[in-house]
Amino acid sequence: MASARSGLRNLATFTGSFVISGGCMYFLGKYLPYYVVTVSGDSMQPALNPIVSGSRDLVIVRRLSTVEAVEKHASRGDVVDAINPRDTEGDLTVKRLIGLPGDTLLTPRRRDEVLTLKHGMCWLEGDNARVSADSNYYGPVPIRSVKGKLVYVVWPPSRFGRISKRSLTDDNEHKMSSLLYS
Cβ-count burial of 31 within 10 angstroms (0-12 exposed, 13-18 middle, 19+ buried)?
Answer: exposed
DSSP calls for 69-81: HHHHH--TT-EEE
- 95 noted as active-site residue: yes
Report the relative pairing of strands 146-155 and 161-162 from DSSP bridges: antiparallel
Residue 43: how many other CB atoms lie within 10 Å: 22
- 43 noted as active-site residue: yes
Q: Which of 30, 53, 75, 95 is catalytic?
A: 95
Position 152, amino acid: Y
**Alpha-carbon dihedral sign for residues 19, 34, 170, 181:** positive
Q: Which of 17, 43, 75, 175 is catalytic?
A: 43
Q: Distance (Å, rounded) from C-alpha 42 to C-alpha 7?
A: 50
Residues designated as active site:
43, 95
